[in-house]
């Protein structure tokens, strides 16, 4: 240690080199500190702006009204869904409803295929049931059936209607979807 101190006293270049290294380290530290200060200042400004926005939102009174409207809309939509205790009953309910109106409409040679219900990905308590009806075309009978579908209080969506006139007797294909909400078993 004494040799190092002796060398520092005698060697001017060594003293200048150490002072230069210390100056560079000090300058680097000041630059790094300036960058940290700038980052903190930016984060503070963003947090302050976010705080002001949250205060503005908190002072707005229409959020409660919007929540009430959303709840009312949800109830209205849920009232239009069919209710069923299971997927199998949902499929059977749609099939029974369609069979009833096919019979009342007096459709000729109807072929009804009701697919299995499946759960909608976004809503685990909502099931979709699709059905395809193929029958001889009769304008009055088809119009009666479509009117009953439109008038039904629960949603029954006509996905597709094809009328084919390439045979002796024109035929039509009707694809419909119904949406069921899981309800507790009665």
pLDDT in tens, 87-108: 888 889 888 988 888 888 888 8
- Looking at residue 64, its pLDDT comes to 79
| C-alpha angle 175-138-108 in degrees, rounded to nearest 5 | 80
What percentage of residues in the chain have a pLDDT greater than 70? 98
118-149 pLDDT per residue, tens: 777 887 778 888 899 898 888 888 888 888 88
- Looking at residue 186, its pLDDT comes to 46
Most confident of 40-44, 87-91, 155-159: 40-44
159-184 pLDDT per residue, tens: 898 888 876 788 889 899 988 888 76
Buried b (16+ CB within 10 A) or exposed e, 74-86: eeeeeeebbbbee
- Looking at residue 82, its pLDDT comes to 81
């Amino acid at each position: 240690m004494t040799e190092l101190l002796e060398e520092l006293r005698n060697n001017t270049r060594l003293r200048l080199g150490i002072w230069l290294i210390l100056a560079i380290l000090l300058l680097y530290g000041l630059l790094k500190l300036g960058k940290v200060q700038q980052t903190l200042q930016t984060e503070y400004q963003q947090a302050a702006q976010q705080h002001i926005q949250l205060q503005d939102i908190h002072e707005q009174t229409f959020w409660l009204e919007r929540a009430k409207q959303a709840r009312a809309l949800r109830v209205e939509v849920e009232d239009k869904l069919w209710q069923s205790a299971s997927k199998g009953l949902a499929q059977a309910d749609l099939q029974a409803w369609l069979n009833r109106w096919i019979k009342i409409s007096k459709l000729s040679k109807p072929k009804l295929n009701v697919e299995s219900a499946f759960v909608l990905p976004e809503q685990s308590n909502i099931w979709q049931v699709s059905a395809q009806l193929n029958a001889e075309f009769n304008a009055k009978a088809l119009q009666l059936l479509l009117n009953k579908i439109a008038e039904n209080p629960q949603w029954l969506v006509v996905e597709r209607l094809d009328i084919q006139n390439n045979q002796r007797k024109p035929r039509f294909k009707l694809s419909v979807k119904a949406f069921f909400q899981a309800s507790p078993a009665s």
